[in-house]
Amino acid sequence: MKIVSDKNNLQVLHEDNHIIVINKRVGDIVQGDKTGDKPLSEVVKEYIKEKYNKPGEVFLGVVHRLDRPTTGIVVFARTSKALTRLNELFANRETQKTYWAVVKNKPAEKEAKLVHYLKRNEKNNTSKAHSREVSGSKLASLDYKIIKELNNYFALEINLHTGRHHQIRAQLSAIGCPIKGDLKYGFDRSNPDGGIHLHARKLVFIHPVSKEALTITAPVPQDSVWKSI
Protein backbone atom coordinates (compact mmCIF):
# COMPACT_ATOMS: atom_id res chain seq x y z
CA MET A 1 0.00 0.00 0.00
CA LYS A 2 1.52 3.30 -1.13
CA ILE A 3 1.07 6.29 1.19
CA VAL A 4 1.61 9.71 -0.37
CA SER A 5 2.51 12.72 1.76
CA ASP A 6 -0.06 15.43 2.36
CA LYS A 7 -0.07 18.48 4.62
CA ASN A 8 -1.49 16.44 7.51
CA ASN A 9 0.88 13.46 7.45
CA LEU A 10 4.08 15.20 6.32
CA GLN A 11 7.17 13.77 8.04
CA VAL A 12 9.07 16.91 9.07
CA LEU A 13 12.63 16.18 10.26
CA HIS A 14 13.77 19.78 10.82
CA GLU A 15 12.07 23.14 10.51
CA ASP A 16 13.14 26.74 11.14
CA ASN A 17 12.63 30.15 9.54
CA HIS A 18 14.98 29.40 6.66
CA ILE A 19 14.80 25.68 5.85
CA ILE A 20 12.49 22.70 6.17
CA VAL A 21 13.67 19.09 5.86
CA ILE A 22 11.22 16.31 4.94
CA ASN A 23 11.38 12.51 5.08
CA LYS A 24 10.10 11.67 1.60
CA ARG A 25 7.82 8.68 1.03
CA VAL A 26 7.92 6.30 -1.96
CA GLY A 27 4.95 7.88 -3.73
CA ASP A 28 6.19 11.46 -3.42
CA ILE A 29 7.60 13.31 -6.38
CA VAL A 30 9.86 16.21 -5.32
CA GLN A 31 9.07 18.55 -8.20
CA GLY A 32 6.25 18.62 -10.75
CA ASP A 33 6.66 16.55 -13.94
CA LYS A 34 4.65 15.24 -16.87
CA THR A 35 2.59 12.92 -14.60
CA GLY A 36 0.75 15.95 -13.29
CA ASP A 37 0.85 14.50 -9.75
CA LYS A 38 1.05 17.04 -6.94
CA PRO A 39 4.74 17.42 -6.04
CA LEU A 40 6.13 17.36 -2.51
CA SER A 41 7.13 21.02 -2.93
CA GLU A 42 3.43 21.98 -3.21
CA VAL A 43 2.50 19.80 -0.22
CA VAL A 44 5.15 21.53 1.91
CA LYS A 45 3.84 24.95 0.81
CA GLU A 46 0.33 23.94 1.92
CA TYR A 47 1.71 22.74 5.27
CA ILE A 48 3.58 26.03 5.87
CA LYS A 49 0.63 28.17 4.76
CA GLU A 50 -1.72 26.42 7.16
CA LYS A 51 0.66 26.10 10.12
CA TYR A 52 1.77 29.73 10.08
CA ASN A 53 -1.48 31.16 8.71
CA LYS A 54 0.40 32.83 5.87
CA PRO A 55 -1.52 35.02 3.43
CA GLY A 56 -0.72 34.85 -0.30
CA GLU A 57 1.96 32.73 -1.95
CA VAL A 58 4.41 30.77 0.20
CA PHE A 59 8.05 30.88 -0.93
CA LEU A 60 9.70 27.47 -1.15
CA GLY A 61 12.90 26.66 -3.03
CA VAL A 62 13.75 23.16 -4.29
CA VAL A 63 17.44 22.54 -3.52
CA HIS A 64 17.90 18.93 -4.65
CA ARG A 65 15.81 15.90 -5.64
CA LEU A 66 15.40 12.21 -4.91
CA ASP A 67 14.17 9.70 -7.48
CA ARG A 68 10.46 9.02 -7.07
CA PRO A 69 10.88 5.38 -5.86
CA THR A 70 13.53 6.45 -3.31
CA THR A 71 12.79 7.54 0.27
CA GLY A 72 14.50 9.80 2.76
CA ILE A 73 15.86 13.30 3.30
CA VAL A 74 14.83 16.22 1.08
CA VAL A 75 15.81 19.80 1.98
CA PHE A 76 13.74 22.82 0.92
CA ALA A 77 14.60 26.52 1.38
CA ARG A 78 12.02 28.82 2.99
CA THR A 79 13.82 32.05 2.05
CA SER A 80 15.63 33.21 -1.08
CA LYS A 81 18.77 33.86 1.00
CA ALA A 82 18.76 30.24 2.22
CA LEU A 83 18.09 28.95 -1.30
CA THR A 84 21.10 30.74 -2.79
CA ARG A 85 23.43 29.44 -0.07
CA LEU A 86 22.03 25.90 -0.10
CA ASN A 87 22.40 25.76 -3.89
CA GLU A 88 26.07 26.67 -3.44
CA LEU A 89 26.55 24.06 -0.69
CA PHE A 90 25.07 21.28 -2.82
CA ALA A 91 26.79 22.41 -6.04
CA ASN A 92 30.18 22.53 -4.30
CA ARG A 93 29.51 19.17 -2.61
CA GLU A 94 29.91 20.69 0.85
CA THR A 95 27.38 18.22 2.21
CA GLN A 96 27.86 14.69 3.48
CA LYS A 97 25.18 12.31 2.18
CA THR A 98 24.71 8.80 3.56
CA TYR A 99 22.28 6.33 1.98
CA TRP A 100 21.07 2.89 2.98
CA ALA A 101 20.31 0.31 0.32
CA VAL A 102 19.04 -3.27 0.46
CA VAL A 103 20.49 -5.40 -2.34
CA LYS A 104 20.37 -8.97 -3.51
CA ASN A 105 23.70 -10.75 -3.87
CA LYS A 106 26.60 -10.14 -1.54
CA PRO A 107 29.18 -7.64 -2.81
CA ALA A 108 32.60 -9.17 -3.41
CA GLU A 109 34.10 -7.07 -0.61
CA LYS A 110 32.68 -6.10 2.77
CA GLU A 111 33.53 -2.49 2.05
CA ALA A 112 34.98 -0.83 -1.02
CA LYS A 113 35.14 2.28 -3.18
CA LEU A 114 33.34 2.05 -6.52
CA VAL A 115 34.47 4.20 -9.43
CA HIS A 116 32.65 4.13 -12.76
CA TYR A 117 31.89 6.40 -15.69
CA LEU A 118 28.15 6.92 -16.01
CA LYS A 119 26.51 7.66 -19.31
CA ARG A 120 22.92 8.84 -19.20
CA ASN A 121 20.29 7.61 -21.65
CA GLU A 122 17.66 10.36 -21.81
CA LYS A 123 15.25 8.23 -23.84
CA ASN A 124 14.69 5.52 -21.23
CA ASN A 125 15.83 7.63 -18.23
CA THR A 126 18.65 5.35 -17.10
CA SER A 127 22.39 5.63 -16.60
CA LYS A 128 24.87 2.93 -17.58
CA ALA A 129 28.02 2.39 -15.54
CA HIS A 130 31.20 1.82 -17.57
CA SER A 131 34.53 0.72 -16.14
CA ARG A 132 36.40 3.24 -18.29
CA GLU A 133 35.60 6.62 -19.76
CA VAL A 134 33.35 6.62 -22.81
CA SER A 135 32.08 9.53 -24.88
CA GLY A 136 29.56 11.62 -22.93
CA SER A 137 30.19 9.84 -19.61
CA LYS A 138 30.82 11.40 -16.19
CA LEU A 139 33.00 10.14 -13.36
CA ALA A 140 30.99 8.59 -10.51
CA SER A 141 32.42 7.55 -7.16
CA LEU A 142 31.03 6.18 -3.88
CA ASP A 143 32.03 4.13 -0.85
CA TYR A 144 29.90 1.29 0.47
CA LYS A 145 30.06 -1.12 3.38
CA ILE A 146 27.84 -4.04 4.37
CA ILE A 147 26.06 -3.10 7.60
CA LYS A 148 23.85 -6.17 7.98
CA GLU A 149 23.22 -9.57 6.39
CA LEU A 150 19.47 -10.18 6.21
CA ASN A 151 17.67 -13.43 5.38
CA ASN A 152 17.73 -13.00 1.59
CA TYR A 153 19.40 -9.62 1.21
CA PHE A 154 22.30 -7.44 2.26
CA ALA A 155 22.00 -3.95 3.77
CA LEU A 156 24.63 -1.47 2.62
CA GLU A 157 25.61 1.99 3.85
CA ILE A 158 26.73 4.25 1.03
CA ASN A 159 28.59 7.56 1.04
CA LEU A 160 28.48 9.52 -2.19
CA HIS A 161 31.47 11.44 -3.55
CA THR A 162 29.69 12.60 -6.71
CA GLY A 163 26.05 13.26 -7.49
CA ARG A 164 25.22 11.63 -10.81
CA HIS A 165 21.88 10.61 -12.29
CA HIS A 166 20.76 7.27 -10.74
CA GLN A 167 24.34 6.88 -9.49
CA ILE A 168 23.83 4.42 -6.61
CA ARG A 169 21.31 2.36 -8.58
CA ALA A 170 23.58 2.08 -11.64
CA GLN A 171 26.83 1.46 -9.76
CA LEU A 172 25.41 -1.26 -7.48
CA SER A 173 23.78 -2.92 -10.48
CA ALA A 174 27.14 -2.86 -12.27
CA ILE A 175 28.73 -4.98 -9.51
CA GLY A 176 25.85 -7.49 -9.63
CA CYS A 177 23.99 -6.11 -6.61
CA PRO A 178 20.76 -4.50 -7.85
CA ILE A 179 18.62 -2.73 -5.24
CA LYS A 180 15.52 -4.58 -4.02
CA GLY A 181 12.54 -3.63 -6.19
CA ASP A 182 14.62 -1.81 -8.83
CA LEU A 183 13.40 -3.42 -12.08
CA LYS A 184 15.07 -0.69 -14.13
CA TYR A 185 18.49 -1.83 -12.90
CA GLY A 186 18.13 -5.57 -12.88
CA PHE A 187 16.14 -6.65 -9.84
CA ASP A 188 13.74 -9.44 -10.79
CA ARG A 189 10.49 -8.15 -9.26
CA SER A 190 8.98 -4.91 -8.07
CA ASN A 191 8.07 -3.99 -4.49
CA PRO A 192 4.34 -3.90 -3.65
CA ASP A 193 4.45 -0.10 -3.19
CA GLY A 194 6.34 0.48 -6.45
CA GLY A 195 9.35 1.82 -4.58
CA ILE A 196 12.91 0.59 -4.24
CA HIS A 197 14.91 -0.11 -1.08
CA LEU A 198 17.11 2.98 -1.33
CA HIS A 199 16.84 5.51 1.50
CA ALA A 200 18.57 8.88 1.94
CA ARG A 201 19.44 8.16 5.57
CA LYS A 202 21.66 10.99 6.79
CA LEU A 203 22.69 14.48 5.70
CA VAL A 204 25.36 16.62 7.34
CA PHE A 205 25.69 20.26 6.32
CA ILE A 206 26.21 23.79 7.62
CA HIS A 207 22.99 25.75 8.09
CA PRO A 208 22.89 28.39 5.31
CA VAL A 209 22.05 31.26 7.70
CA SER A 210 22.86 30.36 11.32
CA LYS A 211 26.07 28.55 10.22
CA GLU A 212 25.54 25.80 12.80
CA ALA A 213 26.42 22.23 11.82
CA LEU A 214 23.29 20.19 11.21
CA THR A 215 23.05 16.39 11.17
CA ILE A 216 19.68 15.14 9.96
CA THR A 217 18.73 11.44 10.15
CA ALA A 218 15.61 10.05 8.48
CA PRO A 219 13.80 7.05 10.02
CA VAL A 220 13.43 4.15 7.58
CA PRO A 221 10.02 3.34 6.05
CA GLN A 222 7.62 1.09 7.97
CA ASP A 223 8.35 -2.14 6.18
CA SER A 224 9.58 -5.46 7.48
CA VAL A 225 12.84 -5.49 5.49
CA TRP A 226 13.86 -1.97 6.57
CA LYS A 227 12.83 -2.67 10.14
CA SER A 228 15.13 -5.72 10.31
CA ILE A 229 18.23 -3.57 9.81
Predicted confidence pLDDT, tens digits, the chain (229 residues): 678 899 999 999 999 999 999 999 998 999 877 777 899 999 999 999 999 999 999 999 999 999 999 999 999 999 999 999 999 999 998 999 999 999 999 999 999 999 999 999 999 999 999 999 999 999 999 999 999 999 999 999 999 999 999 999 999 999 999 999 999 999 999 999 999 999 999 999 999 999 999 999 999 999 999 999 9
Per-residue confidence (pLDDT) for residue 35, from 0 to 100: 76
How many other CB atoms sit within 10 Å of the CB of residue 61? 17
Beta strands in the chain, from DSSP E residues, in sequence order: 12-15, 19-24, 61-62, 71-77, 96-103, 111-121, 126-130, 138-149, 154-160, 198-206, 213-217
> In whole angstroms, how far apart are CA 73 and each of 14, 21, 59, 92, 186?
10, 7, 20, 19, 25
The model's pTM: 0.95
pLDDT for residue 1: 62
The predicted pLDDT at position 181 comes to 98
* Pairing label, strands 71-77, 198-206: parallel
Phi (first) and psi of residue 106, to 5 degrees: -85, 130
> How far apart, in Å, do the first and last CA atoms of the chain sit?
21
